[in-house]
Chains A and B, each alone.
Chain A
Amino acid sequence: MKITNKILEKHGIKNEEYESIQKLLKREPNFLELGIFSAMWNEHCSYKSSRVHLKKLPTKGKQVIQGPGENAGVIDIGDEDAIVFKIESHNHPSYIEPYQGAATGVGGILRDVFTMGARPIALLNSIHFGSPDHPKTKSLLNGVVSGIGGYGNCIGIPTVAGETKFNDTYNENILVNAMAVGHAKKNKIFYSKAKGINKSVVYVGSKTGRDGIHGASMASAEFDENSEEKKPTVQVGDPFTEKLLLEACLELMKDDSIIAIQDMGAAGLTSSSVEMASKGSLGIELQLEKVPCREENMTPYEMMLSESQERMLIILEDGKEENAKKIFKKWDLDFVIIGKTTNTKNLTLKFNNKIEGEIPIEALASKAPVYKRKWVKKSLPKKTVDLKKLKKIKLEDALIKILSSPNHSNKSWITDQYDQMVMCDTIQRSGSDAAIIKIHNKEKAIAVSVDSSANYCKSHPSSGGKQIVCENWRNLISVGAKPLAITNCLNFGNPENEKIMGEFAECLDGIKEACEFLDYPVVSGNVSFYNGTNNKNIFPTPVIGGVGLISSLRKPINHKLKKEKSSLILIGKTFGHLDQSCFLKENYSISDGAPPKINLVNEKNNGEVVLSLINKDLVLAAHDVSNGGLIVSLSEMAMNSYYGMKIEKVKKLRNLFEYFFGEDQGRYILEVEHSNSPKVKKMLSDANIYYENIGYTQKKYFEIEGEFKININDLSKMNNQWYNNY
């Protein structure tokens, strides 16, 4: 077949890229080879626009066993235990086909984790939808939530935490990011690097169908009005088969049969085989007629580009084939030797012994294009809000407006659809600052949280990038965990647009700065560009997934108030930063101005001291102050709990709205037993931490002295109704 411009366009290959392909091959590629280049060179697989910036991120630390570049990141949690985790996007497929898109997003990220020898122990997600009034939002929300639940519930891994946000910016391009966390033994981690020649390359798992062909290329382009037509590029998930694959792989991993293993995710058989060969500086030869197919007459092109789910590629040690086959047969899964490693450094594709395509591995991997795209810096927006010019409202009404808004309403309508308890190690379920998962049969636990702040990132990307890392760090601290490392999912618009590329570069600068300062390295992640439709790009939305360690097990700390008449202490300084706040957005529809400043020194000090107070059992409840400011965080501590509080009259001529709704960073609220209060305050003073006594807990009522008093059940009711009425 002659390669025409139309064919190139369909494959998302630019003319200059096609020239490089010809140079690398020293000839024209055939159709199959072109397909393979398109699968490996697209943005999703090659990171061609992001690579130069990703290099900036700190990826090392004492706690890091494996940083980015493998299927998932691996960290050390002491003893013989390791945690394997990663987050990944499935935005484009989920917009086209919400149930399957979200479900396969979960399936894909789980494979990344168990490929490395870890048993998955927790799932998290960050999902972003357009305005609730947009005609598509409701069905997308329903589809995505049931897809996430459908997969996780069936495979039997608890979905323990997440975030759901609504914003017009996602009207035509929703975000679905899924994170998986697994537990492995430190000395039993499996990697994707091939070693040795003439080793068997084995295909295991589901059969290959025609679903998902060009999925990765689809994810590397913007949407337009014809996006619906891309439905066939979305894969179909089968969590049951994945459960079998998970158990079979973990069973095989008990001995030393595996040299390398790689899941067939984006770009399926192509990327898995190229990846393993590339890491081992080897070649790989596949006999495609042996690939188990579920449809008739599939061509090599279709086999190589299919993104059918629940498949793995394994390179086995000599002589281990029979035993491995037995395990996969037991689980009723396909097990076929489809090729071998070679010393040619080529990807060689044969069909009935005829060579259908041959490409140097390095042309697909290390020689893939890298772009230093142009980008522009964003200046810090000026302060815009003058409260005096705004229509007057009551403090109580402003609070209720926020608590009953879609973004702040109680999310149990969503979380009730996820099995959070299966595996019986979930100590803290969703709804708290972070979820806590016990390490099975061990006296320790991990805490996990995912966070994003698209509004802050849009307003000033580098501040926003810094802020999310800090917020994520704070969320782990608030449940008494020592933050160890993060994974990030970088959701951005079109990188060919200089402004968007600027948002990307600067968000990463912010993330880098915060991660470095907090010793909170990035160990895995994923970049999703081209989130937009018809030149309308989404707000920059980096999502951070953090993992922390609770090294000695105790009843978990969470944000719910525990006792009557205990002291409430606010840690960190309140300046009253209202620009970019929920208060202005929900009450006045204003979203201008700069995000709050981050002071990394205070952030670190405050966090470390809070953690040490929790570890000394001096804290009854803890909550970080984030979106919505102090008053929203306080009400979250009271809602759906047994106790309310009385916040004493605010002194010092402060503006009430700035004080209560300002979104200044680095703050926590602690509930401390009255008798422990002097001790806690002394420790805070000794550590040079700024704090304020703000009040005490009481039964039944949430009360701001001199302003209003409301029954906590009424407050909870207002917080609980939006989803049920939607």
Chain B
Amino acid sequence: MKSSVIVFPGSNCDRDIAVALEKMQFKNQMVWHKETTLPKSDLIVIPGGFSYGDYLRSGAIAGKSLIIEEVIKAANSGCFILGICNGFQILTETGLLKGTLLRNKNLKFINRDVNIKVINNSSKFTSKYKLGQVLKINIAHNEGNYFTDDKHLKELKRENLIAFKYCDEKGKISEDSNPNGAIENIAGILNAKKNILGMMPHPERMIDKLVSNTDGLNLFSSLLN
């Protein structure tokens, strides 16, 4: 399977995701933001970081960059797109995913291992997980407080487009287990066609027992299926 990782100035999880993809035997390429063509890819990843410094709104400038037009085209023709953290923020800026990421409820950057629950395991990204499985995944963001309007929220639920929700160790979803104030504890969502996943937690940080755990691996192996 061929993957491309888009590198914006200020991306800083680009190497981490590349390591994860290569470990899972993807044929990966790094694509610089000034490129105007994308290599043929089955998966495009928009990595975490602070694209263009995020001095404006997170992801706002990246959402208007040259390469992003190509990403939109690829998405519309069915290519799988994964946006992690800043990548999720960028996807909402491009309109490929609806809703937005607000400042964390406590107005602080949060880096911590949190628990998330697999809400949808029928997508191409999550099929290797069990439904309701609780994963421990690292988050690291200032703006991870997902928000969307009622209409879209209903759609998300009706169409089973919520991929992950924040929960506690036992899988209980409550305000106490919500690290950033995201609406209904949403940690990751899919688009209507389910070929795009945006998520705040970093699965690429959870691929090595020595460093953390291996809860992120199945996201990549799901894609290989």
Contacts and interface: CB of A to CB of B under 8 A. Distances in A.
Contact of A426 (B9, B15, B48, B211): B211
A405 B112 CA distance: 24
A423 B16 contact: yes
Contact of A149 (B19, B109, B211, B212): B109
Interface stretch (A68-76, A414-422, A529-537): A414-422
Contacts, number: 83
A422 B211 contact: no
A153 B140 contact: yes
Interface residues of B, number: 30
Nearest to B20: A424
A239 interface: yes
A424 B211 contact: yes
Given A416-B111, A423-B16, A424-B16, A240 B208 contact: no
B205 A243 contact: no
Contact of A421 (B9, B210, B212): B212
B19 A155 contact: no
B96 to A, nearest CB: 24
Could you say which interface size class chain A belongs to? 20 to 34
B110 interface: yes
A425 interface: yes
Given A418-B111, A422-B16, A240 B55 contact: yes
B204 interface: yes
Contact of A555 (B12, B109, B210): B210
B16 A417 contact: no
A427 interface: yes
B220 interface: no
Contacts of A150: 109
Contact of B205 (A155, A239, A424, A438): A424
Given A154-B10, A421-B140, A422-B16, A238 B53 contact: yes
Contacts of B112: 416
A422 B212 CA distance: 12
A675 to B, nearest CB: 25
A32 B49 CA distance: 42
A572 B40 CA distance: 64
B108 A417 contact: yes
B50 interface: yes
Contact of A240 (B9, B110, B202): B9
Contacts of A243: 9-10, 12, 50
Interface centre among A150, A420, A424, A425 (most CB of B within 10 A): A424
Interface centre among A153, A241, A243, A419 (most CB of B within 10 A): A419
A211 B190 CA distance: 46
A238 B16 CA distance: 23
Interface string A114-149: 000000000000000000000000000000001001
Contacts of A418: 109, 111
Contacts of A427: 210-211
A156 B111 contact: no
6 contacts: A154-B12, A156-B13, A421-B138, A424-B211, A427-B211, A555-B210
Interface of A: 146, 149-150, 153-156, 238-241, 243-244, 331-332, 415-427, 438, 553, 555
Closest 4 CB pairs of A and B: A156-B12, A240-B53, A154-B50, A419-B140
